[in-house]
């Protein structure tokens, strides 16, 4: 059985959760493999909206097991709030439907405080993080001083690690507070220890060796869907550095972030909006600062599911999309929010850049160079009709079909899914990666 990886191809917010929810009907296991509660995946089923930050988007399908892999950094408070909310709706009555890797690293109070104070200290050079402690937690992981889920379940070990790490964290927090003219937060080791022990006990029923669990399910022939968070252009290695997230968001991270071998990942579906958005700072060649940009934001409800921040909006950038196709090894492309483009006479697609007088058709690896990029546009016909009731490709206006075909031609990856609204039913799956091998 093919295993499928779903990744974002832009700067996040592409609609990955919706596509994962759709594909889960053909999967037995859904795995989240990186990021933390800086992600916000919005699902709409029969008009009811569900926003998830840590639990994989397949949780709405009864019988599907959702796994939080070792590559995720998790805030136990946020996770348990999600669990409680789902249980209240009768969606997670069986604890065995959610598996949490013992090796996932835990976000602790000092991580959030460090995140916020560091952004303040940077001033105008701030990265634009969500302030949820994601980066500092990944730093502790790489520095080999992190605290993992397995540590929450071992009281003696947990106390030793918390007291040791908090001493170092408080030293940095005091220095940062002095630099911005504020007061360092008061963090009490005993209080943190008591809270984390209690949180650990609540998480105990869900915790296990996730890598071994996935290996067993693969041996049984289960179909596994790997759900990425954020987007390719936010990858810490391949994105618009330094304005990136703190994890690898590309398809290769599905293996390292879940503990499966890379040869078991056969299909990679990239998700892209029919236009482009970005939250936070950093280069964005096709950004629009006019009425069209405001229209995209308004009609596309472009406000962050996690932070509520308005998203920057612009025309579709196929230079960036081709880059995403290359570094992810895309085998298919899902085009979302096509309906948002309705009502425009002319649409624009960025097919190249002009940088310092030279035309280029590849994404520069240097963010400062990308800041100087002027988009080269190809204009295509728009359409007036609304698309919300469309349920098959032949119901689309000809101009909309032409737009999809042109994207497919320019990116050189087949468009296998098209979405015309937020609801699960407003998605046309042209080829199923689980069935066809694309």
Which structure tokens are listed for 164? Answer: 């040791």
Q: Distance between CA atoms of 28 and 374, rounded to whole angstroms?
A: 45
Which residue numbers are catalytic?
Answer: 13, 41
Find the largest Cα–Cα distance for the chain: 66
Closest among 196, 205, 212 to 87, alpha carbons compared? 205
DSSP assignment string, 227-240: E--S-GGG-TTTSS
361 to 260, 274, 285, 317, 352: CA distances (angstroms): 35, 19, 13, 11, 5
Q: How far is CA 68 from the centre of its chain?
A: 14
> The tokens 């106390």 sit on which residue?
159
List own/partner pairs for 393-396 with CB under 8 A and 24 or more apart.
393/418, 393/428, 393/430
Rounded alpha-carbon distances, angstroms, from residue 268 to 2, 5, 245: 10, 5, 21
**Rounded Cα gap, residues 431 and 82, in angstroms:** 32
- Tokens 């995209």 belong to which residue? 296
CA–CA distance, 118 with 126 (Å, rounded to integer): 8
Q: What is the dihedral of CA 216, 221, 227, 233, to 10 degrees?
A: 100
| 210 contacts 254 by C-beta, under 8 angstroms | no
User: 42 and 14 in contact (C-beta within 8 Å)?
Assistant: no
Phi, psi of 56, deg, nearest 5: -55, 150
């Amino acid at each position: 059985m093919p295993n499928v990886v779903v990744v974002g191809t832009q700067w996040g917010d592409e609609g990955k959760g919706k596509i994962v929810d759709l594909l889960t009907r053909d999967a037995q296991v859904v795995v989240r493999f990186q990021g933390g509660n800086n992600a916000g995946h919005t699902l709409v089923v029969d008009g009811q909206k569900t926003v998830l930050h840590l639990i994989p988007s397949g949780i709405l399908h009864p019988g599907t097991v959702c796994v939080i892999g070792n590559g995720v950094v998790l805030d136990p408070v946020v996770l348990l709030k999600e669990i409680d909310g789902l249980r209240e709706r009768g969606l997670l009555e069986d604890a065995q439907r959610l598996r949490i890797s013992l090796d996932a690293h835990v976000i602790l109070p000092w991580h959030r405080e460090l995140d916020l104070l560091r952004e303040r200290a940077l001033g105008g050079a701030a990265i634009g993080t969500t302030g949820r402690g994601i980066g500092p937690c990944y730093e502790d992981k790489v520095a080999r001083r992190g605290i993992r889920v397995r540590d929450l379940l071992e009281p003696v070990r947990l106390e030793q690690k918390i007291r040791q790490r908090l001493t170092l964290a408080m030293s940095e927090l005091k220095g940062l507070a002095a630099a911005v003219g504020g007061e360092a937060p008061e963090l009490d080791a005993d209080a943190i220890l008591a809270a984390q022990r209690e949180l650990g006990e609540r998480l105990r029923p869900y915790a296990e060796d996730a890598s071994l669990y996935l290996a067993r399910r693969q041996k049984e022939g289960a179909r596994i869907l790997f759900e990425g968070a954020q987007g390719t252009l936010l990858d810490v290695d391949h994105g618009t550095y330094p304005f990136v997230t703190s994890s690898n968001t590309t398809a290769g991270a599905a293996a390292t972030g879940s503990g499966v071998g890379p040869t078991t990942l056969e299909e990679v579906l990239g998700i892209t909006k029919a236009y482009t958005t970005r939250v936070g700072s950093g280069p964005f060649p096709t950004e629009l600062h006019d009425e069209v940009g405001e229209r995209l934001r308004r009609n596309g409800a472009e406000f962050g599911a996690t932070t509520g921040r308005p998203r920057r909006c612009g025309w579709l950038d196929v230079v960036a999309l081709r880059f995403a196709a290359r570094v992810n090894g895309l085998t298919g492309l899902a085009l979302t929010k096509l309906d948002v483009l309705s009502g425009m006479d002319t649409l624009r697609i960025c097919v190249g850049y002009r940088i310092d007088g030279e035309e280029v058709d590849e994404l520069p690896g240097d963010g400062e160079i990308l800041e100087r990029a002027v988009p080269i546009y190809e204009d295509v016909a728009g359409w007036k009709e609304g698309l919300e009731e469309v349920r098959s490709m032949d119901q689309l206006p000809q101009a909309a079909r032409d737009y999809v075909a042109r994207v497919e031609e320019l990116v050189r990856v087949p468009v296998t899914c098209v979405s015309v609204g937020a609801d699960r039913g407003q998605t046309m799956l042209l080829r199923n990666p689980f069935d066809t091998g694309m």
